[in-house]
Amino acid sequence: MDTSGNIPERRAFSRMSYAAPLAYKVCNKETIAKLLQGYTSDISEAGMLCNIREAVNPDDILWLSFDRGTLGLCEGLEKRVLIYQNGIIGKVVRIEPKGYDNFDVGIKFLTREEKNWNNEYK
């Protein structure tokens, strides 16, 4: 056990704080036509943390639209992730309720290699 207090970083990409408006859709037949609103909290090339008002489920596939142009990591981000209709496709990996109709949601961006995301569309 490491008692030095040095805990190794488990993230492959560093996160940066990034608070900005976010539009998203839950990719299922009942909600795909409904554009929802939220805010980003932080972002990396692998995923993001956002704050939303609608309840989502683990493994839900989301279409995410936000201002990627102001991010310094956008060049690497856009080369790596799956972009569909000018939005990034991501999978819900963590949900933390923050009160009534308020959730912090961790999203893992799907990569271009994960082209089977349509198979997960419910």
Query: What is the tens place of the pLDDT at every residue in 7-50?
Result: 555 556 666 677 878 888 998 887 778 899 999 998 888 889 99
**Domain residue ranges in the chain:** 16-112
* CA dihedral sign of residues 120, 25, 74, 42: negative
CA–centroid distance for 116 within its chain: 17
Indicate the class that CATH gives domain 16-112.
Answer: mainly beta
Q: Report pLDDT digits (tens) over 67-101.
A: 876 556 556 777 788 888 888 899 999 999 998 99
Q: Which residues contact 105 (CB under 8 A, 6 or more apart)?
A: 49, 50, 51, 52, 56, 92, 94, 95, 96
* pTM, two decimal places: 0.77
